């Protein structure tokens, strides 16, 4: 047991003892359901409520409550009252009520606390300017930054792996993490030409990994002082993004330059606050993309038919555009060409369906009556959380036949992208939600998808690759609600440069 684990256990025992004493001595107030409110599941432990059961297995807990109470119910979880909307046909009624059911309050508090910068609301128009900044990850700008990402990926592959003429063995998650972090960092922030840039970025990656391991505890409101060296590591990471350090980096992206320009306009922001914003953007850029890249690669390699179909599609595109595969040849693909790789996109979407566990949160800004389909009304209290948990939808056998099985072509129909899915004979508006929904939808989702596609294109075009271990890899549920789940273990694979005669 590590030092932070020991501290956390001590904290947990002290908290449990205090709660039991309080429960024994206090009058035991618990919230009571009012007329018009959903069924209320309080739990018997004061403050904790159903938190322990929920954390242990959120998916099966919610399914069990749905069978017992229906599609809308409220659960007391660690001092919060969260109303879950389980019916995907009702999602739209939550998503479209962004004024009464706000996302920004939750996201702003979580981010400012986790990454150590002041609330965006303390600075006039900062929120709106930051939101407009995401235009550099969409539209025409997306093609530019994706092209830079492709060049950086190929450069790193060539630098690191061009001599792999014989089989080379590595652990897959470590491999994906190294490549995606390096390429993403250089694409977004550039590199210091006067230093050994790869060593600097590797140092940042190692610290990032340590911080990210405890990120779920920060989101769960565990004080950072109880998380061992996490506070120190966070401070060191922020230091890398101080203005005079970032000024050394060359070749960065428009999205980062624009963010620097925006933050410089606010004189009341300390240099450490600006650096913390950049660190938060880094986490948003790679925190979920790295495990998503692992899962996409793992599932393709684990299913030979998927590997064959995706590789054939890539090879056909390269041949049709006069480009050569293999070490020493650079690949260039337009945004349209990427979008037309239907088997690659379907395989990626299928892996996201199976490994994503995001929880879409809204906070009721007032006592409010939420109107649902079929003239149904649900009373909500000010400050209550409203949650959509799309993992339930992703694993619904009515929507996805054999949902626990990976089917690389699940999102293809008649050779084209499949965008129609049904439940109970009715067409669903929302059927795949790894990036959130409505105003909470990840603004970098298009770039994230392109990054993973580009990684797989370079990998499969340049290398023969196969799993060495045949063990199945499971999901680590400790990060449920935060996006892409991590694997519960790493797995060994091997690769070598593809023969040009293929």
pLDDT at 447 (0 to 100): 95
Q: Is 270 in the same domain as 133?
A: yes
Q: Is 390 in the same domain as 457?
A: no
Tell me: is residue 442 an annotated ligand-binding position: yes
Q: Within 13 Å of residue 492, how many CA atoms lie on the same side as its CB?
A: 6
Is residue 60 included in any domain, yes or no? Answer: yes
pLDDT at 29 (0 to 100): 59
Q: Is 280 in the same domain as 298?
A: yes
Q: Is 303 in the same domain as 331?
A: yes
Tell me: is residue 113 an annotated ligand-binding position: yes
Residue 134 has pLDDT above 70, yes or no: yes
Measuring CA to CA, which residue among 403, 477, 474 is closest to residue 53? 477
- When pLDDT is averaged across residues 99-125 and rounded to a whole number, the result is 91
How far is Cα 428 from Cα 453, in angstroms, rounded to an integer? 26
pLDDT at 13 (0 to 100): 40
- Residue 36's contacts (CB-CB under 8 Å, 6 or more residues apart) are 369, 377, 378, 379
pLDDT at 26 (0 to 100): 42
How many domains are contained in the chain?
2
Measuring CA to CA, which residue among 474, 487, 465 is closest to residue 169? 465
Cβ proximity of 37 and 379 under 8 Å:
yes
Q: Is 459 in the same domain as 316?
A: yes
For tokens 């809204």, what's the residue? Answer: 362
How far is Cα 269 from Cα 260, in angstroms, rounded to an integer? 12
Q: What pLDDT, in 10s, does the model give residues 258-271?
A: 999 999 999 999 99
Listed residues 394, 414, 449: the one ending a domain: 394
Q: What distances in angstroms separate CA 481 from CA 337, 405, 478, one per listed residue?
A: 33, 22, 9
Cβ proximity of 234 and 117 under 8 Å:
no
Measuring CA to CA, which residue among 356, 354, 357 is closest to residue 405? 354
Tell me: is residue 133 an annotated ligand-binding position: no
- When pLDDT is averaged across residues 205-213 and rounded to a whole number, the result is 95
Is residue 280 included in any domain, yes or no? Answer: yes
Cβ proximity of 227 and 212 under 8 Å:
no
**CB count in 10 Å sphere of residue 306:** 22
Q: Is 486 in the same domain as 380?
A: no
Q: Is 476 in the same domain as 385?
A: no
How far is Cα 285 from Cα 443, in angstroms, rounded to an integer? 10
- When pLDDT is averaged across residues 335-358 and rounded to a whole number, the result is 95
Cβ proximity of 359 and 480 under 8 Å:
yes
**Residue 196 banded pLDDT, cuts 50, 70, 90:** low
Is residue 177 included in any domain, yes or no? Answer: yes
385-388 and 80-85: which strand pairing?
A: parallel
DSSP secondary structure code for residue 387 in this structure:
E
**Residue 296 banded pLDDT, cuts 50, 70, 90:** very high
Domain span including residue 137: 126-357+403-497
Q: What pLDDT, in 10s, does the model give residues 140-190?
A: 999 999 999 999 999 998 888 877 789 999 999 999 999 999 999 999 999
- When pLDDT is averaged across residues 60-71 and rounded to a whole number, the result is 95
- Residue 101's contacts (CB-CB under 8 Å, 6 or more residues apart) are 94, 362, 363, 364, 365, 368, 370, 386
Q: Is 336 in the same domain as 440?
A: yes
Is residue 39 included in any domain, yes or no? Answer: yes
> Which phi and psi (to 5°) does residue 126 adopt?
-65, -40
Burial of 210 (0-12, 13-18, 19+ CB in 10 A): middle
Q: Is 45 in the same domain as 84?
A: yes
pLDDT at 328 (0 to 100): 65
pLDDT at 195 (0 to 100): 72
Q: Is 233 in the same domain as 104?
A: no
How far is Cα 251 from Cα 139, in angstroms, rounded to an integer? 21
Is residue 268 included in any domain, yes or no? Answer: yes
* The model's pTM: 0.91
For tokens 């210091």, what's the residue? Answer: 192
């Amino acid at each position: 047991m590590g030092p932070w684990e020991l501290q956390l256990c001590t904290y947990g025992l002290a908290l449990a003892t205090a709660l039991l004493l309080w429960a024994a001595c206090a009058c035991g107030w618990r919230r009571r359901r009012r007329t018009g409110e959903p069924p209320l599941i309080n739990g018997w432990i004061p403050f904790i409520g159903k938190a322990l059961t929920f954390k242990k297995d959120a998916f099966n807990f919610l399914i069990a409550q749905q069978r017992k109470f229906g599609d809308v119910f409220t659960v007391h979880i660690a001092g919060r009252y969260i109303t879950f909307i389980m019916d995907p046909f009702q999602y739209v009624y939550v998503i479209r009520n962004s004024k009464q059911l706000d996302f920004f309050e939750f996201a702003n508090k979580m981010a400012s606390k986790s990454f150590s910068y002041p609330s965006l609301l303390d600075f006039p128009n900062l929120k709106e300017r930051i939101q407009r900044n995401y235009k550099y990850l969409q539209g025409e700008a997306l093609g530019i930054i994706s092209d830079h990402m492709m060049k950086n990926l190929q450069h790193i592959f060539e630098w690191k792996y061009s001599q792999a003429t014989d089989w080379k063995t590595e652990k897959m998650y470590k491999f994906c993490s190294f490549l995606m972090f390096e390429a993403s960092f250089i694409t977004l922030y550039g590199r210091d030409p006067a230093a050994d840039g790869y060593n600097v970025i590797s140092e940042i990656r190692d610290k990032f990994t340590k911080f990210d391991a405890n990120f779920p505890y920060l989101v769960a409101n565990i004080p950072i002082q109880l998380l061992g060296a996490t506070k120190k590591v966070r401070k060191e990471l922020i230091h890398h993004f101080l203005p005079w350090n970032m000024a050394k980096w060359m070749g960065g992206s428009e999205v980062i330059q624009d963010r620097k320009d925006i933050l410089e306009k606010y004189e009341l922001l300390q240099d450490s606050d600006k650096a913390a914003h950049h660190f938060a953007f880094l986490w948003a850029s790679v925190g979920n993309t790295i495990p998503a890249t692992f899962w996409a690669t793992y599932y393709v390699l684990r299913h030979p038919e998927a590997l064959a179909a995706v590789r054939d599609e890539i090879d056909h595109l390269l041949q049709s555009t006069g480009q050569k595969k293999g070490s020493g040849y650079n690949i260039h693909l337009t945004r349209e060409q990427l979008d037309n790789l239907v088997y690659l996109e379907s395989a990626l979407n299928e892996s996201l369906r199976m490994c994503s566990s995001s929880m879409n949160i809204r906070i009721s800004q007032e006592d409010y009556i939420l109107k649902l389909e079929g003239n149904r009304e649900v009373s909500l209290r000010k400050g209550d959380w409203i949650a959509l948990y799309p993992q339930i939808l992703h694993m619904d056998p009515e929507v996805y036949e054999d949902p626990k099985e990976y089917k690389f072509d699940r999102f293809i129909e008649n050779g084209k992208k499949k965008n129609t899915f049904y439940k109970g004979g009715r067409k669903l508006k929302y059927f795949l939600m790894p990036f959130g929904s409505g105003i909470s939808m990840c603004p970098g989702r298009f770039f994230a998808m392109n990054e993973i596609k580009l990684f797989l294109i370079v990998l499969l075009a340049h290398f023969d690759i196969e799993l060495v271990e045949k063990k199945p890899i499971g999901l680590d549920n400790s990060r449920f609600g935060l996006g892409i789940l991590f694997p519960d273990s790493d797995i060994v694979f091997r690769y070598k440069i593809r023969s040009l005669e293929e």
